[in-house]
Structure 1
Amino acid sequence: MRNISDVIEAHLKQIIERNKHKTVEIKRSEIADQFACVPSQINYVINTRFTPEKGYHVESKRGGGGYIRIQRMAVNSKNNLIDELIDLVRPSVDQRVAVAVIERLYEQEYISIREAKLMINAIDREVLAFKLPVRDELRSRVLVAMLRALKHN
């Protein structure tokens, strides 16, 4: 059974995909009421599932008329996406963000599931067994090398 975060994420992604502008504007409290959860659960979903490395831009306005706007970033071309991802992971990247970058490449169908698994294993903290910050810097270099290889493929 999926947890509430998965259900909320799927709901918001479904709305975004149906919208011609690939955007959803929500009130945190309304979504929390709809899913019978606390508003902080909505914050958690947005902060962890709708990040730049996953291809989303989030904007919020606080207050009584406040809203949260989530927009799926447009991908103009494979090379532009890879350039953006390279900028995102340089000069250092933690494992969570690196995995999200690889998952985005898979979701955009730029790599296969097999390639994604290979890439994720290559940048794992157990493989890059160095102390921080060296590990995150090395992960960035390895990931950038893989991204460049994809760009020229």
Structure 2
Amino acid sequence: MRNISDLIEQYLKQMLQESSEGAVEIQRNELADRFSCVPSQINYVISTRFTLEKGYVVESKRGGGGYIRIQRVDLPALKAIHTHIHQTIGTSMEQLAAEGLIYQLEEAGIIDKREASLLRAAVSRDVIAVKLPLRDELRARLLKAMLIALLARP
């Protein structure tokens, strides 16, 4: 059975898909009532599953008429992906940022689930078992090379 965080995430993603603007505005308390959970659960889902690394921009306004706005950030067109990869990855990349980029590419359908799993495994700190900052530099080089090879496929 799926947990409440998964259900909230799926609900929000469905709302985003149905939105003509690619953005949704929600009230945290209303969403918490809908899922019979505490408002901090909504905060947790949004802060961990709707991050910039995963392709979302979150804006919140506090107060009586406050809201949380979630907007999907689309990846550039496929022909511009190489440039996007070089700009996003740079010469060094932390594991969390690498996983976020992999997630974004998978969500956009540019890589499949299996490719995403292989990429995550290859750039893991457990696999690249060297000290920082060399580990982040190796991760960036590996991820760039693997993504360019995957995107060059017919």
**Unaligned regions of 5+ residues in structure 2, if any?**
none
Query: Does the CA-based 8 Å contact 1:102-1:120 persist in structure 2?
Result: yes
The CA deviation string for residues 113-146 of structure 1, in whole angstroms up to 9 with x for no partner, is: 3322322221111210012333223212221222
1:1-153 equivalent positions in 2, closer than 5 A: 1-153=1-153
Runs of 4+ displaced beyond 4 Å = 150-153
TM-score (norm 2): 0.85
How many aligned residue pairs are there?
A: 153
Provide closer, same or farther for how the CA distance between residues 24 and 81 of structure 1 changes in structure 2, counting only shifts above 3 A: farther
The CA deviation string for residues 93-125 of structure 1, in whole angstroms up to 9 with x for no partner, is: 332331232122222222233322322221111
* Secondary structure at the counterpart of residue 53 of structure 2: helix
The CA deviation string for residues 6-65 of structure 1, in whole angstroms up to 9 with x for no partner, is: 111001111110111111101112111221222221111111111122211111112222
Residue 87 (structure 1) shift: 2.8
Provide closer, same or farther for how the CA distance between residues 47 and 86 of structure 1 changes in structure 2, counting only shifts above 3 A: farther
Give RMSD over aligned pairs. Answer: 2.1
Provide closer, same or farther for how the CA distance between residues 91 and 40 of structure 1 changes in structure 2, counting only shifts above 3 A: farther
1:35 partner amino acid:
F
TM-score (norm 1): 0.85
Using the aligned pairs only, state the percent identity: 54
